């Protein structure tokens, strides 16, 4: 696996779910991370590279190479991904946690790359509607890359806000995580700091239930990105549907995504599958159990 991330874990008050996803990948025996690439998104590429490197060291895996990306050509990250795909056709799974800049650049570098990639698992988009039809962050940052990846014909699995918004760790979950090893305590500490930031941003939701999606910003820490890793290790926890995906690149709807869900008889015509449901409690249990087991 190649993990592409805009990791911000460790930046005070920043999003933490990229870091959780990386930690989960390291804790999963089903996954062998060849290298990690970085992309601009939650933070700039330099910060993402520094935070990813620091987290790997903290988790006892400084041996995992980190390759920095860049805009608009994806930099060394895109070149490394393209090279690996061509060396091992059909064997490379890319889990993209941020904007699809790196993946699109790798596809654009050589027309053979999209066909050589085994699977692209992308956290991004919103396909079943949402508040004011607001675009999801990753596709809003680089909608041109998202459109290029979906048009390339690679086998793609979309883990969107439609399902990830149901993944969050509340106070009881974080206590369970903190009861594990040093890694679990650190991740729980960073999550609590993030919850404080979100609570200050959304004070009016203070009395909502921790398990409710509307309360994610107050009592629980969002866990969007780990679900993309779980899509690789535990795909049965999600319900998938074949779809044709479009991405708007022009204003006023730049970054908006749409999925035309195909009937069963036409599913074989699509290279894309979108997650339309998730067993969130089971997914959360796997996440906590594996992270708490880290030393």
Reading the chain (295 residues) residue by residue, the pLDDT tens digits are 999 999 999 999 899 999 999 999 999 999 999 999 999 999 999 999 999 999 999 999 999 999 999 877 889 999 999 999 999 999 999 999 999 999 999 999 999 999 999 999 999 999 987 656 789 999 999 999 999 999 999 999 999 999 999 999 999 999 999 999 999 999 999 999 999 999 988 876 543 333 333 434 468 999 999 999 999 999 999 999 999 999 999 999 999 999 999 998 888 888 999 999 999 999 999 999 999 999 9
Q: List, edge to edge, every strand of the sheet that includes 119-123.
A: 66-67, 35-38, 2-5, 93-96, 119-123, 156-159, 272-278, 238-247, 257-261
Q: Which of 162, 167, 166, 164 is nearest to 245 (CA)?
A: 162
Query: What is the C-alpha separation between 271 and 86, in angstroms, rounded?
Result: 20
Q: Diameter of the chain by CA atoms?
A: 54
Query: What is the C-alpha separation between 158 and 30, in angstroms, rounded?
Result: 20
Q: What is the rounded radius of gyration, in angstroms, for the C-alpha atoms of the chain? A: 18
Cα angle 119-22-33, degrees, rounded to a multiple of 5: 55
pLDDT of residue 267: 83
The CATH class, in words, for 2-160+223-292 is alpha beta
Please, what sign has the CA dihedral across residues 138, 45, 39, 200?
Answer: negative
In the chain, where are the structural domains located? 2-160+223-292, 168-215
Task: Return the exposure string of 85-116: e unless at least 16 CB atoms fall within 10 Å of the residue's CB, then b.
Answer: bbeeeeebbbbbbbbbbbbbbbbbbeeebbeb
Whether 120 and 154 have beta carbons less than 8 Å apart is answered as yes
pLDDT of residue 215: 39
pLDDT of residue 251: 92
Instruction: Tell me the pTM.
Output: 0.94
Query: What is the C-alpha separation between 139 and 63, in angstroms, rounded?
Result: 31
Distances (CA, A) of 143 to 20, 71, 98, 221: 25, 13, 12, 26
Query: What is the C-alpha separation between 3 and 220, in angstroms, rounded?
Result: 25
Q: What is the pLDDT of residues 275-284, one digit of tens each?
A: 999 999 999 9
Helices 45-58, 17-27: inter-axial angle, 10-degree rounding: 40
Whether 85 and 92 have beta carbons less than 8 Å apart is answered as yes
pLDDT of residue 68: 97
DSSP 168-181: EE-HHHHHHHHTS-
Query: What is the C-alpha separation between 268 and 87, in angstroms, rounded?
Result: 27
Distances (CA, A) of 177 to 187, 231, 239, 280: 8, 21, 27, 17
Query: What is the C-alpha separation between 170 and 36, in angstroms, rounded?
Result: 28
């Amino acid at each position: 696996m190649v993990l592409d991330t805009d990791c911000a874990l460790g930046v005070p008050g920043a999003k933490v779910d990229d870091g959780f996803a990386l930690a989960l990948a390291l804790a999963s025996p089903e996954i062998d991370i060849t290298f990690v690439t970085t992309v601009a998104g939650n933070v700039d590429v330099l910060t993402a590279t520094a935070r990813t490197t620091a987290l790997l060291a903290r988790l006892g895996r400084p041996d995992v190479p980190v390759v920095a990306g860049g805009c608009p050509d994806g930099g060394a990250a895109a070149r490394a991904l393209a090279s690996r795909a061509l060396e091992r056709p059909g064997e490379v799974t890319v889990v993209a946690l941020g904007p699809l800049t790196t993946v699109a650049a790798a596809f654009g570098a050589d027309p053979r790359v999209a066909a050589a990639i085994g699977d692209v698992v992308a956290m991004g988009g919103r396909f079943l509607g949402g508040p004011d039809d607001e675009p999801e962050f990753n596709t809003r940052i680089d909608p041109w890359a998202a459109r290029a990846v979906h048009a390339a014909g690679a086998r793609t699995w979309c883990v969107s806000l439609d399902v990830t918004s149901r993944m969050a760790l509340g106070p009881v979950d974080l206590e369970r995580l903190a009861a594990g090893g040093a890694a679990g305590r650190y991740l729980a500490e960073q999550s609590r700091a993030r919850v404080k930031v979100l609570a200050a941003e959304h004070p009016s939701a203070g009395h909502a239930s921790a398990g409710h999606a509307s309360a994610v910003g107050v009592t629980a820490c969002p866990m969007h990105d780990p679900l993309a890793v779980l899509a690789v290790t535990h795909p049965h926890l999600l319900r998938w549907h074949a779809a044709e995906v479009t991405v708007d690149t022009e204003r006023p709807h730049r970054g908006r995504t749409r999925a035309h869900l195909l009937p069963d008889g036409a599913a074989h015509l699509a290279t894309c599958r979108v997650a339309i449901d998730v067993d969130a409690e089971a997914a959360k249990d796997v996440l906590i159990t594996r992270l708490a087991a880290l030393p």
